[in-house]
Chains A and B, each alone.
Chain A
Amino acid sequence: MDAFAKGRRGAERNTLARNYRERLARGAALADGKLVRTEDATALLEAVIEPGDRVCIEGNNQKHADFLSKALAAVSPERVHDLHIVQSNIALPSQLDIFESGIAHKLDFCYAGPQGLRLARLVGEGRVEVGAIHTYLELYSRYFTDLTPRVSLIAAEAADRNGNLYTGPNTEDTPAIVEATAFKSGALIAQVNRIVDEVPRVDVPGDWVSFVVQAPKPHYIEPIFTRDPAVITELQVLMAMMVIRGIYEKYGVTRLNHGIGFDTAAIELILPTYAEELGLRGKICRYMSVNPCPTLIPAIESGFIEGIHCAGSELGMERYVAEHSDVFFTGRDGSMRSNRVFCQLAGHYADLFIGSTLQIDLEGNSSTATHSRITGFGGAPNFGSESRGRRHGSESWLMAGREAQRGSHATMPRGRKLVVQIVETFHEGLASTFVERLDAWELKDSFNMPLPPVMVYGDDLTHIVTEEGIANLLLCDTLEEREQAIRGVAGYTPVGLKRDRAMVEKLRERGAVAYPEDLGVDKRLATRDLLAARSIKDLVRWSDGLYDPPARFRNW
């Protein structure tokens, strides 16, 4: 048999391309070119989606294809059923309604924060079969291997009649979804806020897009990265001071990723005061991978932060970002361009990640899992992990590497990424952050998971910062020392009270445990007066009126 004949049979076997053409033809019957009327959205989905399809309903941290999600929930389960949903965030009721009615059955996802309780119930009832809970980069990676969507329902700000899409500042996951779908014969259906003659910029070329539907109201966006400086506590200021002296200054950290809690907001807000006073401008915190959190404004205005790449946007920051295209990545049209994949990658290969968590065990494993909820991961594990593929040196990376290899017999020098958890020893309800055993183990058993859902693994973690001090796990040689260093900063929690005082004192001499006085941190300065902005109104003032906070944050 000659090779050509074999090849021809291959072409006949390419049912994927033929199947796409069939879907397109069925949908085209309802469309005027690429445009489908709002009221025909459900009929369009019934025409294009086939039973058993893998479907992505774009659900990001912030932007959601909420109209198409509702339209999907309204299809006839007789025509469309047993879908396999592959999307990063589950945030809206309609995204789970389809599992109640049998339209969908299997789910691969990353994060289900607000729907975590209901998701756990549906899994318990056998209505949702969880493929896996991923981190963002893992799920996107699987879009390009075995979880490629047959149909993706995405959300954009505007479209023209040719299907060119403008996503605006919240591009987020769109490029990953679009690339995987459009280039593997999948159908791409976009909901848009408005149809225009010419889009301000082309974020998705029209020839990749199958159909466009105008939504009756703008897609849902949540302001989840706004932290009101008014509720930052003195303990958070104290911890922020320790981070700046004991980590940022010590290692000379210039490229980093901040979590989105109040602890990291406190760090951002004392850069223009405390770090400035220490002469650290230009030496620390120059490039960040983080959403445009309003609490970054004073540090940008005072020349600390020179560049920020964002995974998504934040409501109210549009004009500020547009006016600061020297700092943020912005399009020719002036609005920000976000991209979760690139932001995650930039953060993964940065010198430091710092974020918060709910529980830390004695090996330093941390988890945000709590009993009876399936919340998942999001992006923290990709940011908060050692980047073993890294090869380029930096002051911080090399210094941390020297600490990690200190006293070992390793002959090949390696660097080390700093992975920091910042927590108070007690959180709400006087629950201890430090535990002998993570609740994640219980969750694993209740929901038959392959592994306990751990956010940051202990062997990736390098530092724990509490209001007591800093545990530097790089300077611990044994698991026993690591445990005592953790107990040494666990304060008056049961875990902290069980410390071996002599051993903690020995670790302190080595620098594996450091208290504020060891770091040159003056506790008298740990007051809210140190915050460059003490309210949302202060942030507006710092921004010269460009930051326009959502109504719920306006209390003046």
Chain B
Amino acid sequence: MERLEYRVRGSETDEFGGAQEALVGVVGSGNLEVMIEPADLGGDCLAVIETSITGFGAIWQQVVEDFFARNRLGNVKVSINDGGATPAVVSLRLDQALAHLRERQA
């Protein structure tokens, strides 16, 4: 197991203020569970990752930073339980979780 944490400067937005968290996916081989929730982080974005496979920190950082930047997020926390998913599956889950969060907001 490896625990990774990345905090990056986000946009000054409170897009999801008060919305209930969204959870997608399941922990399993090659799969992962992603929870996304609004958080008071002074505009920052935070990703906390628990993964069963060690040594891929650089790619995790790329994947979550791209996700935050692509969607111009701020004040958002993402928690990930990973069972060895490929970056592609991680990205898909992140996008699915965000779509659900937006749905709840609307």
Contacts and interface: CB of A to CB of B under 8 A. Distances in A.
Interface of A: 234-235, 238, 424-426, 430, 466-468, 491-492, 497, 516, 522-524, 526
B86 interface: yes
A524 B59 contact: no
B59 A492 contact: yes
B88 A524 contact: no
Interface in B38-59: 59
Given A468-B88, A491-B88, A526 B96 contact: yes
A121 B63 CA distance: 43
B86 A522 contact: no
Give the interface size class of chain B. 10 to 19
B88 A467 contact: yes
A430 B86 contact: yes
A492 B63 contact: yes
Interface in B70-106: 86-89, 91-92, 95-96, 99-100
Given A430-B86, A524-B96, A526-B92, 9 more contacts: A234-B92, A424-B88, A426-B86, A467-B88, A467-B91, A491-B88, A491-B91, A522-B99, A523-B96
A526 B63 CA distance: 19
Contact of A523 (B59, B86, B87, B95): B95
Contacts of B86: 424, 426, 430
A235 B87 CA distance: 11
13 contacts: A234-B89, A234-B92, A235-B89, A235-B92, A430-B86, A466-B88, A468-B88, A468-B91, A492-B59, A492-B62, A524-B96, A524-B100, A526-B92
Contacts of B88: 235, 424-426, 466-468, 491-492
A147 B87 CA distance: 49
Contacts of A523: 92, 95-96, 99
Nearest to B63: A492
A467 B100 CA distance: 20
A298 to B, nearest CB: 24
A497 B100 contact: no
B92 A491 contact: no
A238 B91 CA distance: 12
Give the secondary structure class of B's interface.
Answer: helix
Nearest to B66: A492
Nearest to A466: B88
A430 to B, nearest CB: 7
Given A234-B92, A523-B92, A491 B99 contact: no
A416 B39 CA distance: 51
A186 B47 CA distance: 72
A25 B24 CA distance: 75
A430 B59 CA distance: 13
Nearest to A492: B87
Nearest to A524: B99
A84 B99 CA distance: 62
A492 B67 CA distance: 12
A238 B87 CA distance: 14
Contact of B92 (A426, A467, A497): A467
Nearest to A239: B88
B87 A426 contact: yes
A467 B62 CA distance: 16
The 4 A-B residue pairs with the shortest CB-CB distance in the complex, in nearest-first order: A492-B87, A467-B88, A523-B95, A524-B99
Nearest to B89: A235
B98 to A, nearest CB: 9
Contacts of B62: 492, 497
Nearest to B98: A523
Contacts of A497: 62
Nearest to A237: B92
Contacts of A492: 59, 62-63, 87-88
Contacts of B63: 492
A516 B92 CA distance: 11
A496 to B, nearest CB: 9
A130 to B, nearest CB: 37
A191 B89 CA distance: 50
A522 B95 CA distance: 10
B28 to A, nearest CB: 12
A491 B91 CA distance: 10
Contacts of A426: 86-88
A524 B92 CA distance: 9
Nearest to A235: B88
A526 B62 CA distance: 23
A423 to B, nearest CB: 11
Contacts of B59: 492
Contacts of B92: 234-235, 238, 467, 523, 526
B64 to A, nearest CB: 11
B4 to A, nearest CB: 15
Contacts of B99: 522-524
Contacts of A235: 88-89, 92
A497 B65 CA distance: 13
B20 to A, nearest CB: 17
A466 B86 CA distance: 13
Interface in B17-47: none
A152 B91 CA distance: 54
Nearest to B30: A233
A483 B42 CA distance: 39
Contacts of B96: 523-524, 526
B50 to A, nearest CB: 19
A172 B95 CA distance: 45
A468 B89 CA distance: 10
Contacts of B95: 516, 523
A430 B86 CA distance: 8
